[in-house]
């Protein structure tokens, strides 16, 4: 608990962490309480209502007469499912391979790193396009996993390099000497030390899922059911919003929703980067001892 509290205090001391968590909290409210409060977007007789002209449609309407604000809100849950599923999948695979490979070394390390290097050499976007054309997924969980299908490789490499150092620490060697099972050493001694790096990998992968999913929906590569921010952008673009100033709001506000969410995640990664820095963590512990 002391280690977790120290990590939290270091992260919270950075303004980027505070701002990003506030923004992400607002997005979480939008995808949970927002969908219950904001009415579902329905076709409305009047198209292209301008933003900030009526309380019923604060961000105006699109070419289908749907409220842009309500469409963004009700598209959020499926986006979040994709982000979480892709982030959890890539992080779980990358962390598992990286920790096991770095700790076991030898043939297991060589085999796992060969597999990782092969995954890193495969171009991500062409692979996703091919798999999307073959499987035509519509489930957000499947789409999230599909988009992050080889994003774990970079995480595995980074985590492995850290584990190679940690496995030589005295407390890890003492556990091995006392005959502690490998599974317990990995779960009790190694993994907790890797949590800041694992969390950064999760956030970074989630950011990639946002950009990739929106781009693939916008290009029409992924089949869709219901609302999605990329689909909203595609509909607005097809209606000529990019060339018509009076219709540009239908394209602008979904883009802003994506940009703000991605920016918050980037700020969170930069804020958490201080947590990974061992010098900062050691200084924080020293300051705590001085206060005592």
Nearest-angstrom CA–CA distance, 70 and 82: 20
Q: Quote the tokens at residue 78.
A: 């499926």
Q: CB-side exposure of 184: number of CA atoms within 13 Å?
A: 7
- Phi and psi torsions of 61, nearest 5°: -125, 160
Structure confidence by residue, pLDDT tens digits, 48-66: 989 998 888 899 999 888 8
Nearest-angstrom CA–CA distance, 272 and 257: 23
Q: Identify which has the larger pLDDT, 286 or 40.
A: 40
pLDDT of residue 134: 79
Cα distance from N-terminal residue to C-terminal residue, the chain: 17
pLDDT of residue 76: 92
pLDDT of residue 100: 92
pTM of the model: 0.83
Q: Who's near 151: CB < 8 A, 6+ residues apart?
A: 86, 90, 94, 124, 205, 208
pLDDT of residue 242: 87
DSSP string of 57-88? STT-B-TTS-BHHHHHHHHHHHHHHHHHHHHH
Structure confidence by residue, pLDDT tens digits, 163-183: 988 888 888 888 888 888 888
DSSP label at residue 181: -
Residue 289 has pLDDT above 60, yes or no: no
CATH of 2-291, one of 1.20.81, 2.170.150, 1.10.3720, 1.10.3470: 1.10.3720
Nearest-angstrom CA–CA distance, 160 and 131: 29
Structure confidence by residue, pLDDT tens digits, 231-276: 899 889 988 898 888 899 999 999 999 999 999 988 888 887 766 6
67 has which bridge partners? 61
The domain locations on the chain are 2-291
- The least confident of 90-94, 100-104, 127-131 is 127-131
Residue 253's nearest CA partner among 87, 76, 83, 40 is 76
CA distances from 123 to 119, 130, 166, 260 (A): 9, 11, 32, 27
Helix (H) or strand (E) holding 103: helix 68-104
């Amino acid at each position: 608990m002391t280690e977790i509290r120290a990590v939290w205090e270091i992260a919270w001391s950075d303004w980027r962490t505070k701002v990003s968590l506030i923004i992400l909290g607002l997005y979480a409210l939008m995808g949970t309480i927002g969908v219950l409060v904001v009415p579902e977007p329905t076709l409305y007789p009047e198209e292209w209502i301008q933003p900030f002209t009526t309380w019923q449609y604060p961000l105006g309407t699109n070419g289908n007469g749907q409220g842009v604000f309500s469409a963004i809100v009700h598209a959020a849950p499926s986006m979040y499912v994709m982000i979480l599923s892709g982030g959890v999948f890539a992080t779980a695979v990358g962390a598992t391979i990286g920790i096991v490979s770095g700790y076991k070394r030898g043939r297991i390390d060589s085999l796992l790193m060969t597999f990782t290097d092969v995954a890193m050499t495969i171009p991500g976007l062409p692979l996703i396009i091919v798999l999307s054309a073959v499987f035509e997924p519509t489930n957000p969980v499947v789409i999230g996993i599909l988009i992050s299908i080889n994003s774990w490789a970079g995480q595995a490499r980074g985590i492995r390099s850290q584990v190679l150092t940690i496995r030589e620490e005295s407390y890890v060697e003492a556990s091995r000497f006392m005959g502690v099972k490998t599974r317990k050493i990995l779960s009790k001694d190694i993994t907790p030390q890797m949590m800041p790096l694992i969390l950064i990998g999760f956030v970074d992968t989630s950011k990639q899922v946002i950009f990739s999913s929106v781009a693939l929906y916008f290009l029409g590569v992924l089949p869709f059911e219901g609302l999605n921010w990329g689909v909203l952008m595609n509909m607005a673009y097809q209606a000529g919003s990019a060339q018509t100033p009076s219709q540009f709001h239908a394209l602008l506000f979904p883009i802003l929703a994506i940009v703000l969410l991605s920016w918050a995640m980037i700020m969170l990664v930069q804020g958490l980067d201080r947590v990974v820095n061992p010098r900062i963590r050691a200084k924080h512990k020293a300051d705590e001892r001085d206060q005592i």
